[in-house]
Amino acid sequence: MKKIWLLSLLFGIILLAGCAKQETSMTPEPLTGEVSAKISDGMDLVSIVKNHSDEASCWTVISGSVYDLTSFIGKHPGGDKAILASCGKDATEMFDQKHGMDPKKWEGLMQFKVMIK
């Protein structure tokens, strides 16, 4: 009888913990304007981000998604140069070499996502 009671209690705690967990959406906002038109015309992502290649507007492609890193330039723990080196190009290899599959790094990157290919 004690085992059933303990199992029920454990199940209840797990259920409550799952309900309390906040879900965050990894889906970016719908695309509008010039950017969505370029994607629908079949333009590749690097062609889109190449015009955002400095500290005033820093966009990059990482693993098939576009990220606006402009606001992160002064906040990156590795310094400004690490972010500025990725502006306007595909930085997948650079990101993978530094961060690999570290889930915390990928989670942090999600807040900067502006589109998916």
Q: List, for residues 75-109, the tens digit of each pLDDT value.
A: 988 888 989 999 999 999 999 888 888 888 888 88
pTM greater than 0.75 (yes/no): no
pLDDT higher than 70, residue 32 = no
- The least confident of 29-33, 66-70, 83-87 is 29-33
Give, in order, the Cα–Cα distances in Å from 5 to each of 61, 76, 102.
Answer: 52, 50, 39
Question: 64: helix, coil or strand?
Answer: coil
CA dihedral (35, 39, 40, 44) positive or negative: positive
**Structural domain boundaries in the chain:** 31-116
Give, in order, the Cα–Cα distances in Å from 60 to each of 29, 46, 53, 54.
Answer: 17, 8, 8, 11
- Average pLDDT over every residue of 57-75: 91
pLDDT higher than 50, residue 22 = no
Fold of 31-116: Flavocytochrome B2; Chain A, domain 1 (3.10.120)
pLDDT higher than 60, residue 27 = no
Chain center to CA of 50: 19
Q: Which residue has the higher pLDDT, 13 or 34?
A: 13
Q: Please name which of 32, 114, 99 lies closest in space to residue 66, comparing C-alpha atoms.
A: 114
